[in-house]
Amino acid sequence: MARVGVCEDDPEIRRVVSDALRLAGHEPVVAHDAGEAMRLLGAPVQLAALVLDIGLPDGDGRDLCQALRAGGQEAPVLFLTALDALHDRLAGFGAGADDYLVKPFAVKELLARVEVLVRRGAPTTAPAHEVRLDPTRHALVDGTGEVALSPTEFRILATLMARPGEVVRRATLVAAAWPDGAMVSENTLDSYLRRVRRKIAEVDMAAEITTARGVGYRFEQTQSGS
């Protein structure tokens, strides 16, 4: 039995997916919207896979995926969505998805794709950051308050936080934060990184974004907050 996280706002689809997972021998952990998903599906909850709707009532499922990744949840993600245009698919993969299934879907295909992800994934043991990203408000949140982020700032920071200690290439950040085909200059990305750094400094976050010159950026833990 594998624990599979599900976030779907449509009650009928949610029931179909949950029942199918149970019949296949899995344990679904079900959320109705992005806010509930952050509470039920984030690290350190151990999940073998995640099935996320993109069109949620309180946020974008792609932002939810990035926030979960940034918080340490490493389970592979299947997006379940009615959005089937190429740019939508690319945006989904840019947000960290491992697979993509368009509605309406065949239950057997859903289960087959989930089985592949379950075999590929391993339960996360990464601890959640004390300061977290909230995909419903596009904010950086700590125990005392929050700092608002623009959608682009949110996606840049989420991409970096999902890979702590690793150099994330500039092209990866652009793909995660802007629509496919957008013309983004180096100066534009640098400007957004400066804004994100300032907002990190506004909360008690023991981390910083460093530059790997000519390559990209790195999200690093520090000894103490600002």
Domains of the chain: 2-121 (3.40.50.2300), 132-221 (1.10.10.10)
Instruction: Write the DSSP string, 196-210.
Output: HHHHHHTTT--EEEE
> pLDDT of the chain along its 226 residues, tens only?
799 999 999 999 999 999 999 999 999 999 999 999 999 999 888 999 999 999 999 999 999 999 999 998 999 999 998 888 888 888 888 888 999 999 999 999 999 999 999 987 655 444 455 678 999 989 998 777 789 999 999 999 999 998 888 999 999 999 899 988 888 998 999 999 999 999 988 887 778 899 998 889 999 887 654 4
**The residue to which tokens 């991409």 are assigned:** 159
Helix (H) or strand (E) holding 78: strand 77-81
Structure letter (DSSP) for residue 163: S
Burial of 172 (0-12, 13-18, 19+ CB in 10 A): middle
CA distances from 168 to 57, 134, 171, 174, 184 (A): 31, 21, 8, 10, 16
Cα-atom radius of gyration of the chain, to the nearest Å? 17
Q: At what angle do helices 86-94 and 170-177 cross, to 10 degrees?
A: 130
